[in-house]
Amino acid sequence: MSDIDTRAKSALAAYELGEVELARIDAGLINRTFAVGAERGRFVLQWVNPIFGAEVHLDIEAVTAHLEACGLVTPRLVRTRAGELWTRDAEGGVWRLMTFVEGVTHARAETPALCESAGLLARGPPGFP
């Protein structure tokens, strides 16, 4: 088991998930990402690159709560046992746990149609401010 895998398992101890299965996801350019299967459901665990301050999670929480209130399905941060939006490992690394949203992840826009679809989503649902 690699150091990052060990750190990921230790980060999960901050959450109330029961028994978990952890699998590395090798997509993404900035953060280290893991799929988490747990008694409580499916989640995504991320080690957050230090270029971001841990306080970015306050913004993520505000934005995703607003989007959800407007009717959009979005990954939400899962609070730790202590009620925090993130946790730190023994080396000081920042980790976040998010709810899993079924669907497809695109690493890049392969077609103009995909770009158009993303642009339409950016406008938000009807009534979005």
- Domains annotated for the chain, with CATH where assigned, are 3-122 (3.30.200.20)
SS3 content of the chain, % helix, strand, coil (to 5): 25, 25, 50
Which pLDDT tens digits describe the chain residue by residue (129 residues)? 689 999 999 999 999 999 999 999 988 789 999 999 999 999 999 999 999 999 999 999 999 999 899 888 999 999 999 999 999 999 999 999 999 999 888 778 889 988 887 777 766 666 655
Please tell me the pTM assigned to this model: 0.86
Distance CA 60, CA 31 (A): 15
Cβ distance 70 to 123 under 8 Å?
Answer: no
> Which has the closest alpha carbon to 95: 77, 83, 107?
77
Residue type, 63: V
- Coil vs helix vs strand at 123: coil
